[in-house]
Amino acid sequence: MARSAAIQCGKPQVLLTTSTCLIAKTAGVALYHKPGDHDYTYGFVYIDPQAGFTLHFFGRFTIDVDGNYHAAANPLPPDKYSLKIRLDQNEIAALLPPRGLAQLGLPEKPDWLSFYEDKSDSVTHKVNWGSFYNGIGDSRRAIIYLESAYKERPDAPKLVFELVYAFNALERPEDTIRVSKSEFAKNPKDELLCREMAFAYLHLKSYKEAATQYQACIELCGDSESQMAEKSELVMNLSSAYKALADTPNSEAWLEKAKRWAPKGSPVYRYFHPGEE
C-alpha cells in the first residue's frame, strides 16, 4: 500500500502559515504565498520510497472575494511537463480544503500514486519512513517507526543512526547513549554516529565524556572544505566542553583552532567575523 502525505498547517481552510507543518496524509497543498502574489502554486505531496517527501507540481489557482477557487494560467502544462520537488523542513505549505479540491477538479488521491508503492520489507519500510520524517524535522513521528523497527531488528542498516538522531532531536540523550554506545564500539569510524553521541554527552553535562567523544569525531573528519566546516563546528563544541570543565587552556586552544580551520563563509567563520558578508 502506498504511503503518502500532506503538509497540514493550522485549520484546513487556512492557506498561509509560518507554523511548523505536520505531515499526515496524501492531499493537495498550496505553497507559500507572498503578499504581493496574485495566485497560489499547488500540487500533491507524497512520500517517494527512494526520495522521501516530494511535491508533484500541478499548477496555479486564485481565490476570489467569495472564497471560491479558480484555476489560473499554468506556466508548466501537465500534459507537457512533469515537475517534482524534493521537500525538506524549510518548506512552508498548507492543506487545500475539500472545497478547493472540488472547485479545482482535483482528486483526493491521484491515480499515479500507485506507482510509488513501497515494496520493501516491514523493517526497511519503517527505517526509511523514520529517516524521511527526521529529514523534514518531524522526529516525533519518526520515532514511532524507528523504535518499532529497533524492537524487530536492531541491526537493520541505518537504523541506529536514525534512531539516535531522533532521540537527540526529542531531547532524549540518555536513550542516545544507551543505543549508540555498543554500535559505535563496533563501528568506531562512523562519523555521524560519533557526532550524535558527543552531542548527547554534552547535553547530559557529561563534559569529560563529551570532550573525549568530540576528539574522536574530529579525527574522523577529512580536509575538504565541507569537512573542515564541519570540523570547526565540532571543535567549537569541544571548546565549550573544556570550558564547562574549567579547563581554560584547552578551551582557548581549541577555540583558536576552530577560528583557524573554519572555511570562509561557514557558520563558524561568520561567528568569528560577524561584520563580513
Residue 177 pLDDT greater than 80, yes or no: yes
The pLDDT, as a whole number, for residue 11 is 31
pLDDT band at 205 (very low <50, low <70, confident <90, very high): very high
Max mean pLDDT range (54-68, 91-105, 153-167):
153-167
Q: In angstroms, what CA-CA distances link 36 with 33, 48, 59?
A: 8, 33, 18
How far apart CA 192 and CA 217 sit, in angstroms, is 8
pLDDT band at 44 (very low <50, low <70, confident <90, very high): confident
Buried/exposed code over 5-35 (b: 16+ C-beta within 10 A; e: otherwise): bbbbbeeeeebebeeebbbeebbbbbbebee
* In a domain? residue 14: yes
* In a domain? residue 22: yes
Alpha-carbon dihedral 28, 33, 36, 37, rounded to 10 degrees: -30
How far apart CA 209 and CA 185 sit, in angstroms, is 14
- Across residues 32-53, what is the average pLDDT? 74
- Across residues 66-92, what is the average pLDDT? 72
Chain segment 85-144, per-residue pLDDT in tens: 777 655 556 777 788 888 888 777 777 777 667 677 899 999 998 998 898 888 999 999
The pLDDT, as a whole number, for residue 219 is 96
* In a domain? residue 188: no
**Identity of residue 109:** K
Q: Give one DSSP letter per residue of the chain, joined into a string.
A: ---B--EE-SSTT-----SPPEE-SSEEEEE---TT-SSEEEEEEEEETTTEEEEEEEEEEEE-TTS-EEEE--SS-TTT---EEE--TT--EEEPPHHHHHHTT--SS-GGGGGG---S-HHHHHHHHHHHHHHTT-HHHHHHHHHHHHHH-TT-TTHHHHHHHHHHHTT-HHHHHHHHHHHHHH-TT-HHHHHHHHHHHHHTT-HHHHHHHHHHHHHH--SSHHHHHHHHHHHHHHHHHHHHTT-HHHHHHHHHHHHHHPPTTSHHHHHH-TT--
State what percent of residues in the chain have pLDDT above 70.
79
In the chain, how many domains are there?
1
pLDDT band at 14 (very low <50, low <70, confident <90, very high): very low
* In a domain? residue 38: yes
* Higher-pLDDT residue of 210, 100: 210
* In a domain? residue 90: yes
Residue 184 pLDDT greater than 60, yes or no: yes
* Higher-pLDDT residue of 218, 16: 218
The pLDDT, as a whole number, for residue 78 is 64
C-alpha cell at 191: 562519523
pLDDT band at 212 (very low <50, low <70, confident <90, very high): very high
pLDDT band at 28 (very low <50, low <70, confident <90, very high): low
Listed in sequence order, the residues at least 6 apart from 74 whose beta carbon sits closer than 8 Å to its beta carbon are 59, 60
* In a domain? residue 44: yes
Task: Identify the weakest region by mean pLDDT among 19-28, 32-41, 106-115, 187-196.
Answer: 19-28
How far apart CA 30 and CA 200 sit, in angstroms, is 37
Domain that holds residue 11: 7-116
* In a domain? residue 154: no
* In a domain? residue 130: no
> Which residues on adjacent β-strands are paired with residue 72?
60
pLDDT band at 33 (very low <50, low <70, confident <90, very high): low
Residue 266 pLDDT greater than 90, yes or no: yes
The pLDDT, as a whole number, for residue 22 is 35
